[in-house]
Amino acid sequence: MIRVITIEREYGSGATDIARKLAERLGWQLWDQHLTDEIARQMDCESRAVEEHAERKDALHYRLFKAFLRGSFEGSLNAPRIRAVAECVVTAAAKSGNSVIVGRGSAYYLRDRPDAFHVFIYAPLEAKVQRLRAAGKSEQEAIELAETVDRDRAAYIKQYFDIEWPARTFFHLMINSTMGDEMVVQTILGSIALLDKQSA
């Protein structure tokens, strides 16, 4: 029986909203910002302290904080330490069960768990830019984020897992979010139900 869902995604694909809706529908714990907060807590890198370092032009802490804010710790200069802490936090979240875990390498850390279902959410660049603009980004900023965040993720996954991101073989389901959030949620739930039925 599936007790953990990991959501890997392209930046701007809407995966954050989809994961939230999925967790609400299931009544499960959502590990997204909460996961980032726990990684920061374990690294003793609280937002206030990081902001203070940023004001003193501490490039490491500033980049780490900025990476946390956009949900892409992968691009951080302190990636090896973050990777180790992230693995512990993700593993603990999965162990608790009934969890929807967004990004942070969760699909790769949990690839051998038989109770985990791995989803990759993507979208065309135009759709990602549209979502980011709707969230308040300028068109130029939206395009830059859609391109650079995913490039950082790919480099991180290659360096620390020796895997070409997004590594299709790691996912049970890869889905285009342009079909609409509700349809994506229903597709994920339907796929899990069929898999559980087959396993039973």
pTM above the 0.95 mark? no
102 vs 51, residue with greater confidence:
102
Domain ranges of the chain: 4-192
Q: Candidates 3.40.50.300, 3.30.465.10, 3.40.1440.60, 3.40.309.10; correct CATH number of 4-192?
A: 3.40.50.300
pLDDT band at 7 (very low <50, low <70, confident <90, very high): very high
Structure tokens at 54: 């940023």
Is pLDDT above 90 for 4? Answer: yes
pLDDT band at 66 (very low <50, low <70, confident <90, very high): low
pLDDT band at 80 (very low <50, low <70, confident <90, very high): low
Full DSSP string of 110-151: TTT-TTEEEEEEE--HHHHHHHHHHTT--HHHHHHHHHHHHH
Is pLDDT above 90 for 47? Answer: no
pLDDT in tens, 95-120: 999 999 998 889 999 999 999 999 99
